[in-house]
């Protein structure tokens, strides 16, 4: 791989210890994947923020990178942390978790990273343009950036995303190359798609098919012409969780779909399969459900408004978490939605979510509209799950 | 490209591969024919392989030249290698058939020499191996 003179001075330690480590990471990844060079990136999204996932090892390394003088060269935001950074006590987060979690955030902040902790950076001030090269971690955001925005990113891990932030570069391979963005399978949707939950189920059906096929062609989806931001982010989260997909195209919806003819290889998704996928994500009854969580991926302002409308003047009967980014929460405060929601007894869990918070064992069954959240609730937190439409999940929280 | 033997007079066998992370180390080979998931699969404080049913289960990686086909599992495994090095329990070097990003990034964080694209099935358990991460070679010491 060819390095510029500035890149060479970074890798030889001329620009400090942290830049050296960062450049070593990028060079090694470039070698492994056969990149010919590094390319500049416009923005970075860093994963590996929750102390629940990082542990002391991750915290120590981040502190060492900050001590070593690491500082971002491009705008960078963070994935959700393990707790609401302001309101963690009310959510039952123990102090011996909060303390190291805050030290993780402090290390990132010292390196110039914006401590907006969200899986939807594109809704919170980190929005690339079409064609931009970026280095994003967080599988749902990676899929959204490639598919919906038309920016270009591989599925970065925590250290490689931080390395990209500290150097402003990433190795040119994978999704950065036009040839690797070409679709390989046409997916014809023969089912009616309603709200976010249906799009999550669709992502599971397609993702499971890609996973079983062994090879993972990029899907070119022929479906309804008008999914909105909320539906697309639900699909992105699900297709990345179940199929490891970094990208899909959707006819007349995503910006690169029109570049290609529908691939010859063809699969269809039927109403029956969609129903089966929905059913497979539910193994708890309403009576068993003691936890409701909405906001995987983090809620848009419109979704927060919708929850406020449904909760207005009522009281919730179950623990109900509303997970979103700090900028969306601030706007919800300004518009009065937060007051309505909090008066109902529901709780905002800002900067975090039900996937990365340390809540294993706290609940027996969770209701949500997110297929991704169901997957991690079962595998990571050992909860049973109830997969519902968005409004039905809110009603579940109200029902005693 | 890989697997060429040296034509020198030394009785040692020189295996040529690709540099993943530079540095030199020598140690006794601990050889697995299975993938290793450092996160969850190796105890970060003791260096002991704890994955159930793994062919190295119960063995300690500390100070050894750890030879295995490729890493697997969670990307958090990179931090486990870093933690092992802080605890003084890291392998002296890592040799892979095909290195992947979890192991590569972990070796960089932890400062562990790492070479891949080697014919690792030529390395028998327990032999001494001299790893030169700068040159991308591993020498089986027989003399």
Considering only CB atoms, B79 lies closest to which of A31, A61, A160, namely A61
CA count, 13 A, side-chain hemisphere, A384: 12
pLDDT tens, B118-131?
999 999 999 999 99
The phi, psi pair for A25, rounded to 5°, reads -60, -50
Spatial strand order in the sheet of B65-68: B13-16, B137-141, B128-132, B24-31, B65-68, B93-96, B114-116, B18-21
State the average pLDDT over residues A292-314: 98
CB contact under 8 A, B109 and A31: no
Task: Share the mean pLDDT of chain A.
Answer: 96
Are the beta carbons of A220 and A186 closer than 8 angstroms?
yes
**pLDDT of res. B2:** 43
DSSP string over A20-74: HHHHHHHHHHHHHHT-SBEEE-S-EEE----HHHHHHHHHHHHHHHHHTT---SS
**pLDDT of res. A216:** 81
Is residue A304 over pLDDT 80? yes
**pLDDT of res. B77:** 87
Is residue A171 over pLDDT 80? yes
Spatial strand order in the sheet of A183-190: A249-250, A218-222, A183-190, A266-270
What angle (nearest 5°) sits at the alpha carbon of residue A158, between those of residues A157 and A162?
Answer: 115
CB contact under 8 A, A29 and B99: no
A63 in B contact zone (CB under 8 Å): no
Look up B32 and say whether it is catalytic.
no
Residue with tokens 């390095």: A3
Considering only CB atoms, A28 lies closest to which of B79, B83, B104, namely B104
Radius of gyration of chain B (CA): 14
**pLDDT of res. B39:** 83
pLDDT tens, A250-299?
999 999 999 999 999 999 999 999 999 999 999 999 999 999 999 999 99
Separation in Å, CA of B53 to nearest CA in chain A: 21
| Residues of A in Cβ contact (< 8 Å) with B108 | 21, 24-25, 28, 159
State the average pLDDT over residues A233-249: 94
Nearest chain A residue (CA) to B87: A57
Relative to beta strand A384-387, strand A365-368 is parallel
Which has the closest alpha carbon to A319: A358, A382, A365? A365
Residue with tokens 């919800």: A332
d(CA B92, CA A388): 51
Interface test with A, best of B88, B101, B112, B113 (most A CBs within 10 A): B101
Considering only CB atoms, B108 lies closest to which of A24, A53, A158, namely A24
> In chain B, which residues touch A (CB < 8 A)?
18-21, 44, 75-76, 78-80, 82-83, 86, 99-102, 104-105, 107-109
Query: Which is catalytic among the residues B2, B6, B10, B74?
Result: B74
Are the beta carbons of B84 and B44 closer than 8 angstroms?
yes
Q: Which residues contact A346 (CB under 8 A, 6 or more apart)?
A: A307, A311, A316, A320, A321, A322, A397
d(CA A71, CA A273): 48
Separation in Å, CA of A160 to nearest CA in chain B: 8
Separation in Å, CA of B11 to nearest CA in chain A: 31
Complex ipTM tops 0.90 = no
The size of the A-B interface in CB pairs under 8 A is 63
d(CA B75, CA A343): 40
CB contact under 8 A, A61 and B104: no
Considering only CB atoms, B105 lies closest to which of A25, A31, A53, namely A25
Measure Cα distances from A255 to A152, A252, A339, A386 in Å. 12, 8, 38, 34
DSSP string over B61-130: -TTSEEEES-B-S-TTHHHHHHHHHHTT---SEEEESS--HHHHHHHHHHT--EEES--GGG--TT-EEE
Q: Give the residue, B88 or A225, on which the prediction is more confident.
A: B88
Question: Angle of helix A271-280 relative to helix A196-213, nearest 10 degrees?
Answer: 90
d(CA A244, CA A254): 19
CB contact under 8 A, A25 and B108: yes
pLDDT tens, A345-388?
999 999 999 999 999 999 999 999 999 999 999 988 899 999 99
Which has the closest alpha carbon to B77: A50, A149, A159? A159
**pLDDT of res. A57:** 87
State the average pLDDT over residues A187-191: 96
d(CA A58, CA A48): 8
State the average pLDDT over residues A184-194: 96
d(CA A388, CA A92): 25
A159 in B contact zone (CB under 8 Å): yes
Mean pLDDT by 10 residues, chain B (143 residues): 52 94 97 90 93 93 97 84 94 95 93 96 97 97 82
Radius of gyration of chain A (CA): 21
């Amino acid at each position: 791989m060819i390095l510029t003179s500035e890149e060479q001075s970074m890798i030889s330690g001329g620009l400090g210890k942290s830049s050296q480590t960062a450049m070593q990471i990028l060079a090694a990844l470039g070698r492994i994947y056969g990149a010919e060079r590094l390319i500049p990136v416009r923005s970075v999204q860093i994963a590996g923020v929750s102390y629940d996932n990082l542990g002391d090892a991750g915290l120590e390394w981040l502190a060492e990178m900050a001590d070593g003088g690491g500082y971002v060269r491009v705008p960078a935001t963070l994935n959700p942390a393990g707790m609401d950074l302001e309101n963690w006590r009310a959510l039952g987060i123990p102090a011996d978790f909060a303390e190291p979690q805050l030290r993780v955030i402090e290390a990132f902040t010292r390196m110039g990273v914006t401590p907006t902790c969200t899986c939807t950076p594109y809704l919170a001030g980190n929005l690339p343009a079409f064609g931009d090269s970026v280095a994003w971690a967080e599988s749902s955001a990676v899929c959204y950036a490639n598919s919906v925005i038309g920016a270009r990113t591989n599925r970065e891990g925590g250290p490689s995303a931080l390395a990209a932030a500290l150097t402003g570069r990433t190795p040119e391979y994978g999704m950065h190359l036009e040839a690797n963005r070409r679709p390989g399978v046409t997916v014809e949707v023969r089912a009616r798609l309603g709200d976010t939950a249906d799009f999550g189920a669709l992502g599971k059906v397609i993702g499971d098919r890609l996973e079983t096929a062994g090879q993972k062609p990029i899907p070119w989806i022929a479906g309804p012409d008008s999914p909105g931001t909320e539906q697309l982010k639900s699909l992105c989260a699900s297709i990345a969780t179940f199929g490891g997909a970094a990208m899909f195209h959707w006819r007349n919806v995503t910006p690169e779909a029109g570049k290609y003819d529908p691939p010859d290889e063809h699969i269809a998704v039927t109403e029956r399969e969609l129903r089966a996928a929905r059913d497979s994500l539910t193994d708890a009854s309403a009576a068993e459900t003691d936890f409701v969580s909405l906001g995987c991926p983090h809620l848009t302002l419109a979704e927060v408004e919708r929850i406020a409308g449904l909760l207005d003047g009522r009281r919730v009967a179950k623990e109900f978490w509303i997970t979103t980014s700090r900028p969306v929460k601030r706007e919800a405060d300004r518009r009065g939605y937060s007051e309505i929601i909090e008066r109902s007894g529901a709780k905002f869990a800002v900067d975090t979510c039900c996937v990365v918070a340390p809540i294993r064992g706290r609940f027996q069954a969770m209701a949500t509209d997110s297929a991704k959240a169901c997957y991690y609730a079962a595998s990571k937190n050992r909860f049973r799950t109830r997969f519902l439409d968005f409004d039905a999940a809110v009603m579940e929280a109200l029902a005693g | 490209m890989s697997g060429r033997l040296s034509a020198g007079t030394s009785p040692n066998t020189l295996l040529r591969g690709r540099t993943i992370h530079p540095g030199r180390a020598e140690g006794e080979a601990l050889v697995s024919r299975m993938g290793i998931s450092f996160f969850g699969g190796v105890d970060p404080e003791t260096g002991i392989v704890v994955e159930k049913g793994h062919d190295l289960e119960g063995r300690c990686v500390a100070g050894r030249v750890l030879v295995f086909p490729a890493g697997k599992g969670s990307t958090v495994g990179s931090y486990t290698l870093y933690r092992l090095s802080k605890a003084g329990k890291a392998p002296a070097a890592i040799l892979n058939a095909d290195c992947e990003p979890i192991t590569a990034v972990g070796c960089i964080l932890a400062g562990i020499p790492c070479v891949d694209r080697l014919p690792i099935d030529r390395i028998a358990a327990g032999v001494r191996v001299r790893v030169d991460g700068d040159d991308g070679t591993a020498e089986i010491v027989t003399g």
